[in-house]
Structure formats: C-alpha cells, structure tokens
C-alpha cells in the first residue's frame, strides 16, 4: 500500500465551512499529490508538492490550498467548501521520476 | 488539460480469455504512459508503465503496447480472471510531475 494513509476517510460538511484533509506517508518520498475523482472526469490533479514547502497548482486548483511543512504530511484545505467540491479525494506519491504513482485509500467528502 | 481518452467505457470478457483495453493520448511529449486498476471503493493501483522510447513492456499476465505513430496505448491481460474485474485507467506524464488520466474502462469478467 506504499505506506499512504488519508484522514478522515469520510466527511460530511456544510457549504461555507473550512475543511482540511490529511495525507501521510511513511517512506519519505519527495513528490506528493492531491487528486479529485468525479464520475465522467477521471482523476484530476488539484495540487502537488515536490518537497517541504514546495508546492504547485494542478488543473483544478481553484478553491483549494495545500501545505507541506514535513516530508511525510501533505494537507489539502478547502477554505470555504462548496457543493461542487463534493468528491472523492485521493492522495498519491511518486517514488521516482518515472511513471509509477501510488495512491492512498481516498477520502469521500460530501458538502451539503 | 491533456486529452487522454479510453475507447470504450465498458468491456465484458469470458474468464480465461484475453482482454485488451485501449487508450488514446494527445501529447507527443509525454515521457511515460501508465495503466492503473481501480476496484470499487479503493484507490487506483499501479499496474505497469512504459517509457516513451519503448514499444512494448511485459509484466505478470499484462502487456502494454505503445504506438506513438497513432498515439495509442493498450493494455493486454492474459487469461483474464474474476479478480481482474475493475475499472482500468490509462495516464500519461510529461514532466514526471503532473499526471493526466483518462476516464476509465470498466472490465467485467464473466465466469
């Protein structure tokens, strides 16, 4: 499972509230990613990190922010959740510069 | 974003037959092409990747073929088993930093 955990695994929140999702890895990989998965869209990159305090935007970054203060933790924050952010969120790591990418178990977020 | 697409959203095969799942991509600059398997309620699972300078790569019961002329990628699964039933995604990466995924093909294995 590449030592990736996500918390919480399920969350229901109200529109307008802040939400933080956590991704934790145990193997000190440099690259970490946040994706969302929605029917008909596949996986879409929100943000990624290439080191502590080094992050960059993906294709669907609006409404999301991230932080990485330690190698092992990558946080995704929805500053003010909207119903369009209802989705399944996956964290991933890349152990090398190639094509391999390993995913966490996902967080199902519902914004009511 | 990139245009990575799978040809068929669903595929049904008999147990023991070979499965072929196809994918088209649009960016000739991609370095790696990757296949993932996703079972219901779980995260995607890496199956196999192929570098852009290769045409074919084999793994355990799986083979990935890359045709750069027509920008086509395929995953072949030999002797398909019920445990192979899942959604399969192709993906490409250009810089090794950003990955672009297709929408997936749902494979159903008929016992």
Digit-coded pLDDT (tens) for A37-51? 998 788 999 999 999
Kindly report the number of other CB atoms within 10 A of residue B20's CB atom. 14
The answer to whether the beta carbons of residues A56 and A68 sit under 8 Å apart is: no
Question: What is the DSSP code (8-state) at residue B84?
Answer: G
Closest chain B residue to the Cα of A89, Cα to Cα: B43
Q: Residue A107 and residue A9: Cα distance in Å, rounded? A: 4
The β-bridge relationship of strands B105-110 and B99-101 is unpaired
**For residue A9, what is the DSSP state?**
S
Of the candidates B99, B85, B3, B75, which has an alpha carbon nearest to the alpha carbon of residue A90?
Answer: B99
> Sign of torsion, CA B94 A36 A103 B79?
negative
CA B22/CA B96 separation, integer angstroms: 22
Q: pLDDT of A38-95, one tens digit each?
A: 987 889 999 999 999 999 999 999 999 999 999 999 999 999 999 999 999 999 999 8
A10-14 contacts at long range (C-beta below 8 A, 24 or more positions apart):
A10/A107, A10/A108, A11/A107, A11/A108, A11/A109, A11/A110, A12/A109, A12/A110, A12/A111, A12/A112, A13/A81, A13/A109, A13/A110, A13/A111, A13/A112, A14/A81, A14/A111, A14/A112
Residue B67: in which H helix or E strand, if any? Answer: strand B62-67
Does any CB of chain B come closer than 8 Å to the CB of residue A88? no
User: Chain B residue with minimal CA distance to A40?
Assistant: B103
* Interface-testing mutation among B2, B25, B39, B44, with chain A (most A C-beta atoms within 10 A): B44
Partner-chain residue, chosen from B43, B50, B102, that has the shortest CB–CB distance to A90:
B43
Average per-residue pLDDT for chain A: 94
The model's pLDDT over B17-60, given as tens digits with 9 standing for 90+, comes to 999 999 998 888 888 999 999 999 999 999 999 999 999 999 99
Judged by a CB distance cut-off of 8 A, whether residue A62 touches chain B is no
């Amino acid at each position: 499972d590449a030592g990736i955990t996500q918390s919480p695994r399920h969350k229901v929140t109200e529109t307008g509230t802040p939400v933080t999702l956590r991704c934790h890895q145990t193997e000190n990989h440099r690259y970490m990613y946040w994706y969302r998965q929605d029917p008909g869209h596949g996986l879409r990159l929100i943000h990624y990190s290439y080191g502590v305090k080094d992050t960059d935007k993906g294709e669907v970054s609006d409404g999301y922010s991230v932080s990485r203060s330690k190698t092992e933790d990558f946080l995704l924050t929805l500053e003010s959740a909207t119903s369009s952010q209802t989705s399944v969120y996956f964290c991933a790591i890349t152990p090398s510069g190639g094509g391999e990418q390993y995913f966490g178990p996902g967080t199902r977020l519902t914004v009511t | 974003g990139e245009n990575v697409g799978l040809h068929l959203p669903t595929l049904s095969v008999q147990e023991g037959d070979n499965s072929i799942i196809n994918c088209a991509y649009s960016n000739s600059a991609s370095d790696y092409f990757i296949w993932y398997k996703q079972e219901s309620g779980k995260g995607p699972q890496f199956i196999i990747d192929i570098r852009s300078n290769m045409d074919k790569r084999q793994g355990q019961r799986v083979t990935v073929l890359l045709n750069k002329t027509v920008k086509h990628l395929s995953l072949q699964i030999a002797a398909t088993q019920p445990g192979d039933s899942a959604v399969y995604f192709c993906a490409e990466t250009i810089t090794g930093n950003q990955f672009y995924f297709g929408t997936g093909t749902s494979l159903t294995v008929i016992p």
